Structure 1
Amino acid sequence: MHDLRALRADPAGFDTALARRGIAPVAAAVLARDEVRRRALTDLQELQSRRNALSKQAGQARRDGTDSSALDAESVSLKGEMDRLQQEAAAEDAAVRVALAELPNRLDEEVPDGRDEADNVVVHERGLRRNFEFTPKQHYELGEALGLMDFAAASKLSGSRFVVLRGALARLERALGQFMLDLHTEEHGYVEHAVPLLVNEAAMYGTDKLPKFADQSFCTTDGRWLIPTAEVPLTSLVADEILAAGSLPIRVTALSACFRSEAGAAGRDTRGMLRQHQFMKVELVSVVEPDHSDAEHERMTRAAETVLERLDLPYRRMLLCAGDTGFGAARTYDLEAWLPGQQAWREVSSCSNTRDFQARRMNARWRPGASGPAEFVHTLNGSGIAVGRAMIAVMENYQRADGRIDVPVALQPYLGGASIIGA
């Protein structure tokens, strides 16, 4: 959510900032409705003062034994006009909130201009790409040949964009999630949580998933939402709270199933596990003081990078351009792993600083001192990392010519010491 006071102070700057995302000027329209609301509230206050005065006059008249009927009639008339003004102010306030809720976050100045992922900037590349003496296969070719990855069975059960994993691959997925949780809790200071997979509308709105992306998520018949990411419940833990300065930073993590309708991805990645309706992900969320969010963004991204480094997977960090930065983010780093089967870099983690954008929507604040006004916190979220996509990267980078898959050293303790996955 945007700060309406900042918009009033610099409407041209507001429009210029959103123009980087391709948004047409909106400040004038929003401020026009805000002006109607403010004028209605001013008139309402004036009428309330007049009605209070009439009440005193009518009371005095009754005590004096004089006729107060005219004063009473005027008071009743004012009450009707006051109700109308109150309804008008409420309607305009709702309209302003709806308009602001549908506008994306303002980008940080260092976010590069650009239209789409082709304009993202490589920050650095780490790890060595393996030289294969054979043509590497894609993950679904490997998994199906091993008899451990079954898309046909999943389609029979649930339709497209689902998968059934068996045996060693099911265990590999579980091992990856456990490995990531252990790393983030034991070395990076995140506190593990087990969170609900169903949340209410307020939690989805506060984390900027509603109303803009209602078609990207699944809603139950009783109005609850399947989480598109554990970011939603983890960040919403601080909704409507005023946090003490000593309680920050808050760093939390969860391994959860995630559910997305992929309504905007028709025809993309139809084969394999890259784009599923249901997938596992380790989520990282930080709640920090505003002055610390830049450093926290780097810290969080390094935590996600460490996963890839421990798995010895080649990856690169990308700074997303204006046209590719997500709705709620002020700045985002994507981590892309090299997939030799595809001969392409694919995103496995996205780490974003939303600054106070989500905090304003969910009214999450902190008090810098023992007294004084509360201020909005900054929230950050990142994949630490997407388990299914990490498994894809492991399968393709560690494949053998005979179709078997070597197990990264870091994962072997989680697989009972196994060093290879076979049929």
Structure 2
Amino acid sequence: MSRFPLADRLAKLPPYLFAAIDKAKAEVQARGVDIISLGIGDPDLPTPDFIIEALHRGAKNPENHRYPSYVGMKSFRQAVADWFPKRFNGVTLDPDTEIVSLIGSKEGIAHFPLAYINPGDLALVCTPNYPVYPVAVDFAGGKVEYVPLTAENNYLPDLEAISADSWKKAKMIFINFPNNPTSAMADRAFFERLVEKAREYNVIIVSDAAYVDVYFDPANKPLSILEIDGAREVAIEFHSLSKPFNMTGWRIGMAVGNESLIQGLGKIKENVDSGIFQAVQEAGIAALEQGEAVLDANRAIYMERRDAVVDALGKAGIDCLIPQAALYVWGTVPKGFTSAEFATDLLQKTGVVVTPGSGFGIHGEGFFRISLTVPTDRLKEAVSRIASL
């Protein structure tokens, strides 16, 4: 059989974190072990009926059976523009120039560096991090400098610790708040300083806001970077309908912000994809227009799950960050284990899947991530098994 070597950009990649977890999980499951998977942040709650019904209506419309626009239907972009100022303190967007639809936010984030990174260009990545950020930079031929997120700094990057030379060289900086994997939130003062730095050094802010509507205190809602004065000059923000509306499999999101950055991403997209099925966009419109009650209900469920996990971990003597947002609990690995050893031992001996912190970069070593995406009773059972290890 002929063998064809992979391109260098693929050959040097580590296995994709969640694909590796799925493989290990399947091997243990084949032994008949009761698996409780807390590894991937994939909501177990069903997509609401009114969204499914909107898809059904749209799918029966022959006009939706042809190629869609790569930038998204005007009606979908208008729905985003209508939703945004209601959620983010009056921030207005032009649906024609400041919004582009995405086949899930992951697709947009992965493609964005191709529009602005030349071979050898520098990107700053705050870490622990969603694995797609450095991979996307690498695929564009860029170089990555990691900016650590530490407990001592409330998992916010120390912007003053980034050298002036790095700021001068950087084309972009990737941030993610509420954060995956730590669940940390960023306050207005941090965003204001970040925008100030980005404007000073002409650095693009790439803000991943996938979890911005999964929060637990209505008096402390996560911010959009676009709420900050001057951010529109330097920032693009990525949003997803996956987590708030239980639509991970539907693959629909959007990028918003600086007009030229949206156009740059659009130039890539018009050459590599053909847009979102229009019936899915119509379902997305229904989610944005009618979904507030769903969001409230989901938040209540995730808060109950969060409280159960934090309480059980505390009783087991395992330290963790109490999340104010997102779908995750970030715990400290017990002494005597690396994060990968702990996750492997836990899976093999108890059937519980957690994500090792090292999978999110070297600054995730010593931690593990629990996803709040199974029912409360299963979460309690999982933590009971963790405590028994």
Judge same fold: TM > 0.5, yes or no: no
Rg larger for: 1
**Which structure's relative contact order is higher, taking Cα pairs within 8 Å and 6+ residues apart?**
2
Could you state the TM-score of these two structures normalised by the residue count of structure 2? 0.26
**Structure with the bigger percentage of strand:** 1
